[in-house]
């Protein structure tokens, strides 16, 4: 699917996201990203963004759930 | 790798607070400003951003209504500017490094081992002659040449190894354990060798193995007299000497001579008694100079001083031309004392034993002795009249000239 966000998770500690439009919310408990067609929400504890660029980003911390809405 | 690049280019940790940090992140992404290590602290966010990124951040901050403050600076650009403010420190650091690099190019210590007959002083003087000394440049040292020179100039040295260890020059040598007889001069010398008296005396024993004895038992000889001649004459029929056959004289000859020995010992003596007072003075040295870290004079009339010094060295073998240590100064008093009779006896006995031992070491035997001791209140005097026997002979080239002319005249008719 063209333009859809790609989410790669490594265990529940790391997530690697590409093809997103932007970041909507960032707290230590949740990170909400804007994809092309939907929003992606990472919920967990002690979440932090290792790096953030236009193309990709990396989230680390204890990820409990990934929700699409 | 990325870390290194980040370090070289420099980055800052900033604190961002205000209306929407998320929007700021999105704008950073859109403007190709890399941010990393983003953390949420509730009221504010912290993140790392490159120096150039930080400068490009200003309009974005205005747009999003957020504020940013630098918390920490990292990287080379900041380090350099910090060091620029600490000029003296940097100069000191660079100076120190230059000092190490420069001094490690020189030899600061010479160690010699394996020498028994040749003293260290002799070898050090020799090395000095060869241009090898402390504080010389390592690059000027020609190790192979030095090894060869040592072997060639000292016959006794059979093996050499010169080695540089840090700033220390290690010279290992091996000496020939058997003293080398100078056979060349004896075999080449076909003139023959005489035995001469090394001192005056009476011949008390003589057995000749080769050569012509010139003295008989009981003869009195002077120093330098020929005892056995190395020129053996070959006579013509008319008892004139036709020629000489030259040999190396060999004989056992013992000369007897009288000698008087007198030893004096005074009863009174000065005794050094330490008072127990002592002072420790620290000393610093650089090269040949030395400074003591005490400005006042030493308050003792008479004192012994012993010094302990250490050369500054780095690691194991990097010696530097500086030394440090301390000198201990001990005060003493001189008191007049008198030996007791018993003490005098042992002292005299010791003196006598010393004389005997010295004679014994020289290979001198005592044939007769007459020892008397005179005592008075002030001193004891030991008088010994001795008859000594010693093989006091010396081998020298013969003084007899070969009979050249007669030899040729005689030999022609026989051919």
- The ipTM assigned to this model is 0.87
pLDDT at residue number B132: 87
Instruction: Give per-residue pLDDT as tens, B12-24.
Output: 999 999 888 888 8
Instruction: Give per-residue pLDDT as tens, B221-268.
Output: 998 888 888 888 888 888 888 888 888 888 888 889 888 888 888 888
Domain assignment present for residue A52? The answer is yes
Check the CA dihedral A17-A18-A20-A23 and report its sign: positive
Task: Classify residue B32 as left (phi > 0), alpha (psi -120 to 50) or beta.
Answer: left
pLDDT at residue number A64: 93
Domain count, chain B: 4
Going by pLDDT thresholds of 50, 70 and 90, the confidence category of residue A14 is very high
Tokens of B47: 């993140």
Cβ of residue B38 closer than 8 Å to a chain A Cβ: yes
- CATH for A41: 2.60.40.2000
Residue B359 and residue B227 share a domain: yes
Domain assignment present for residue B135? The answer is yes
- Residue A22: list chain B partners with CB under 8 A: 22, 25-26, 29
Which of B36, B41, B49, B57 to substitute to test the interface with A, most A CBs within 10 Å? Answer: B36
Going by pLDDT thresholds of 50, 70 and 90, the confidence category of residue B279 is confident
Residues on chain A bordering chain B, Cβ-to-Cβ distance under 8 angstroms: 22-28, 47-54
**Where a domain ends, among B81, B98, B117?**
B81
Domain assignment present for residue B96? The answer is no
**Where a domain ends, among B116, B142, B175?**
B175
Residue B276 and residue B256 share a domain: no
- Residue B42: list chain A partners with CB under 8 A: 27-28
**Where a domain ends, among B81, B98, B121?**
B81
- Averaged pLDDT, A44-65: 91
pLDDT at residue B189 is higher than 60: no
Going by pLDDT thresholds of 50, 70 and 90, the confidence category of residue B317 is low
Contacts of B77-85 spanning 24+ positions with Cβ under 8 A: B77/B9, B77/B10, B77/B51, B78/B10
> Higher confidence at residue B402 or residue A54?
A54
Mean pLDDT over the full length of chain B: 84
Going by pLDDT thresholds of 50, 70 and 90, the confidence category of residue B192 is confident
The per-residue DSSP string of B38-99 comes to EEE-SS-EEEEEEHHHHHHHHHHHHHHTEEEEEEEEESHHHHHHHHHH-HHHHHHHHHHHHH
- Averaged pLDDT, B140-154: 88
State how far Cα A61 lies from the chain centre: 11
The single residue listed with the structure tokens 């650089």 is B286
Q: Across the interface, which of B22, B26, B38 has its CB nearest the CB of A48?
A: B38
Is A22 within 8 Å of B40 when comparing Cβ atoms?
no
Domain assignment present for residue B98? The answer is no
pLDDT at residue number A13: 92
- Residue B38: list chain A partners with CB under 8 A: 26, 48-52
Residue B279 and residue B225 share a domain: no
Mean pLDDT over the full length of chain A: 90
Q: Across the interface, which of A22, A48, A54 has its CB nearest the CB of B32?
A: A54
Which of B29, B31, B44 to substitute to test the interface with A, most A CBs within 10 Å? Answer: B29
pLDDT at residue B187 is higher than 50: no
Length of chain B: 415
Instruction: Give per-residue pLDDT as tens, B359-404.
Output: 888 888 888 888 888 888 788 888 888 888 888 888 888 877 777 6
Domain assignment present for residue B218? The answer is yes
Domain count, chain A: 1
Domain assignment present for residue B100? The answer is no
Residue B217 and residue B111 share a domain: no
- CATH for B127: 3.10.20.310
Which of A19, A26, A60 to substitute to test the interface with B, most B CBs within 10 Å? Answer: A26
Is A23 within 8 Å of B25 when comparing Cβ atoms?
yes
Residue B370 and residue B316 share a domain: no
Q: What distance in Å separates residue A1's CA from the closest CA in chain B? A: 23
Separation between Cα atoms, residue A11 and residue A16, nearest integer Å: 11
CB B26 within 8 A of CB B92: no
Residue B356 and residue B334 share a domain: no
Domain assignment present for residue B186? The answer is no
Q: Taking the CA of residue B174 as centre, how many other CA atoms within 13 Å lie in the half-sphere pointing to its CB?
A: 7
CB B383 within 8 A of CB B399: no
Residue B144 and residue B7 share a domain: no
Is A54 within 8 Å of B29 when comparing Cβ atoms?
yes
pLDDT at residue number B407: 47
- Averaged pLDDT, A26-39: 90
Residue B383 and residue B323 share a domain: no
- Averaged pLDDT, B329-353: 86
> What domain range is A24 assigned to?
6-68
Cβ atoms within 10 Å of B85's Cβ, excluding its own: 8
pLDDT at residue A59 is higher than 90: yes
Q: Across the interface, which of A24, A47, A52 has its CB nearest the CB of B28?
A: A52
Residue B353 and residue B304 share a domain: no
Tokens of B238: 């008319």
Domain assignment present for residue B92? The answer is no
In the stretch 46-65 of chain B, residues with CB closer than 8 A to chain A read 47
> What domain range is B39 assigned to?
2-81
- Residue B39: list chain A partners with CB under 8 A: 48-49
Query: DSSP strand E in B92-200: where?
Result: 106-107, 109-113, 136-137, 157-165, 168-175, 193-197
Instruction: Give per-residue pLDDT as tens, B73-89.
Output: 998 888 888 888 888 88
Residue B413 and residue B366 share a domain: yes
pLDDT at residue B338 is higher than 90: no
Domain assignment present for residue B292? The answer is yes
Instruction: Give per-residue pLDDT as tens, B171-185.
Output: 999 888 765 454 444
Is A26 within 8 Å of B38 when comparing Cβ atoms?
yes
Residue B22 and residue B130 share a domain: no
Residue B347 and residue B263 share a domain: yes
CB B337 within 8 A of CB B271: yes
pLDDT at residue number B185: 47
Domain assignment present for residue A12? The answer is yes
């Amino acid at each position: 699917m063209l333009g859809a966000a790609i989410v790669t998770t490594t265990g529940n500690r790391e997530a690697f996201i590409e093809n997103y439009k932007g970041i909507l919310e960032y707290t230590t408990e949740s990170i909400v990203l804007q994809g092309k067609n939907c929003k992606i929400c990472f919920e967990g504890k002690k979440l932090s963004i290792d790096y953030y660029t236009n193309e990709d980003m990396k989230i680390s911390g204890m990820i409990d759930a990934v929700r699409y809405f | 790798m990325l870390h290194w690049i980040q370090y070289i280019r420099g980055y800052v940790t900033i604190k961002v607070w205000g209306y929407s940090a998320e929007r700021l992140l999105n704008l950073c992404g859109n403007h190709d400003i890399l941010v990393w290590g983003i953390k949420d602290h509730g009221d504010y966010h912290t993140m790392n951003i490159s120096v150039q990124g930080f400068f490009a951040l200003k309009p974005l901050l205005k747009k999003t209504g957020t504020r940013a403050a630098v918390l920490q600076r990292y990287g080379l650009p900041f380090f350099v500017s910090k060091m620029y403010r600490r000029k003296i420190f940097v100069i000191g650091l660079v100076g120190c490094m230059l000092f190490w690099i420069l001094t490690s190019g020189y030899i600061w210590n010479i160690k010699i081992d394996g020498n028994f007959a040749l003293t260290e002083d002799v070898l050090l003087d020799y090395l000095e002659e060869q241009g090898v000394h402390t504080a010389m440049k390592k690059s000027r040292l020609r190790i192979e040449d030095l090894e060869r020179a040592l072997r060639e100039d000292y016959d006794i040295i059979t093996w050499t190894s010169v080695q540089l260890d840090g700033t220390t020059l290690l010279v290992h040598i091996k000496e020939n354990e058997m003293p080398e007889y100078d056979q060349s001069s004896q075999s080449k010398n076909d003139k023959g060798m005489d035995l001469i008296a090394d001192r005056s005396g009476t011949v008390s024993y003589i057995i000749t193995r080769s050569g012509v004895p010139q003295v008989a038992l009981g003869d009195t000889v002077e120093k330098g007299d020929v005892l056995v001649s190395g020129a053996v004459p070959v006579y013509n029929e008319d008892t004139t000497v036709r020629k000489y056959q030259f040999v190396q004289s060999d004989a056992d000859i013992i000369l007897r001579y009288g000698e008087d020995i007198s030893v004096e010992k005074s009863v009174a003596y000065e005794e050094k008694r330490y008072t127990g007072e002592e002072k420790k003075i620290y000393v610093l040295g650089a090269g040949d100079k030395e400074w003591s870290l005490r400005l006042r004079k030493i308050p003792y009339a008479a004192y012994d001083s012993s010094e302990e010094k250490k050369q500054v060295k780095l690691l194991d073998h990097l010696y530097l031309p500086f030394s440090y240590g301390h000198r201990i100064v001990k005060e003493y008093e001189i008191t007049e004392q008198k030996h007791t009779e018993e003490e005098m006896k042992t002292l005299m006995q010791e003196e006598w034993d010393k004389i005997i031992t010295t004679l014994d070491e020289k290979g001198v035997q005592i044939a007769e002795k007459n020892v008397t001791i005179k005592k008075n209140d002030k001193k004891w005097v030991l008088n010994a009249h001795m008859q000594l026997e010693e093989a006091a002979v010396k081998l020298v080239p013969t003084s007899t000239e070969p009979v050249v002319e007669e030899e040729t005249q005689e030999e022609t008719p026989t051919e």
